[in-house]
């Protein structure tokens, strides 16, 4: 993911959290329907972020965003089934038309996509929490001299 502008970076004892703009959302990795907007809280939009957990044996990369999607819960379910066709599906909770919790796992890599989908007050829109997690074993970087 390329970050073309300066974004706030927050450091914790085990990682980094980088705030993202909608224009930096990695659509090639994490598809979202067109006309999707950031969810608004009070006086402003939610802030998607890219988080790295630097653990002793693994690195966990997590990309999270909260969106308003212009689709019903059932339409989002169908849209993601089509987009994530080669991934393994697991639907922990389907309660149409009110909400759904969808999980997809990549067939060969340790990557998962989770979606918490809830009906919005407008019956043709939904609140969606998108979480994309990649787990990689830690490896030292080899430096060429």
User: Cα separation of 106 and 118, whole Å?
Assistant: 24
Average pLDDT per run of 10 along the chain, which is 145 residues long?
A: 66 92 90 92 83 93 95 92 88 80 92 93 90 90 80
Closest CA to 58 of 110, 136, 142: 136
User: Cα separation of 69 and 41, whole Å?
Assistant: 15
Domain of 13 in residue numbering reads as: 9-137
Element of type H or E holding 41: strand 40-41
**Cβ–Cβ under 8 Å, residues 49 and 17:** yes
Say if 111 falls within a structural domain: yes
User: Cα separation of 90 and 75, whole Å?
Assistant: 17
The pLDDT value given to residue 128: 95
Q: How many domains does the chain have?
A: 1
Which 8-state DSSP code applies to residue 74?
H
Per DSSP, the three-state class of 92 is: strand
Say if 143 falls within a structural domain: no
pTM, to two decimals: 0.85
Say if 4 falls within a structural domain: no
Going by C-beta distance under 8 Å and a sequence separation of 6 or more, which residues neighbour residue 62? 50, 51, 52, 53, 131, 132, 133, 134
């Amino acid at each position: 993911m390329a970050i073309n502008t300066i974004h706030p970076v927050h450091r914790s004892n085990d990682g980094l959290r980088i705030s993202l703009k909608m224009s930096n959302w990695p659509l090639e990795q994490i598809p979202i329907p067109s006309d999707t907007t950031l969810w608004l809280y009070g006086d402003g939009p939610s802030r998607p972020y890219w988080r790295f957990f630097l653990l002793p044996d693994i690195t966990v990369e997590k990309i999270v965003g909260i969106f308003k999607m212009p689709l019903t819960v059932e339409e989002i379910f169908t849209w993601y089934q089509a987009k994530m066709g080669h991934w393994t599906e697991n639907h922990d909770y389907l309660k149409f038309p009110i909400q759904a919790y969808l999980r997809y796992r990549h067939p060969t890599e340790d990557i998962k996509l989770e979606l918490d989908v809830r009906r919005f007050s407008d019956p043709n829109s939904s609140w969606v929490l998108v979480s994309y997690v990649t787990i990689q074993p830690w490896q030292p970087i080899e430096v060429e001299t």
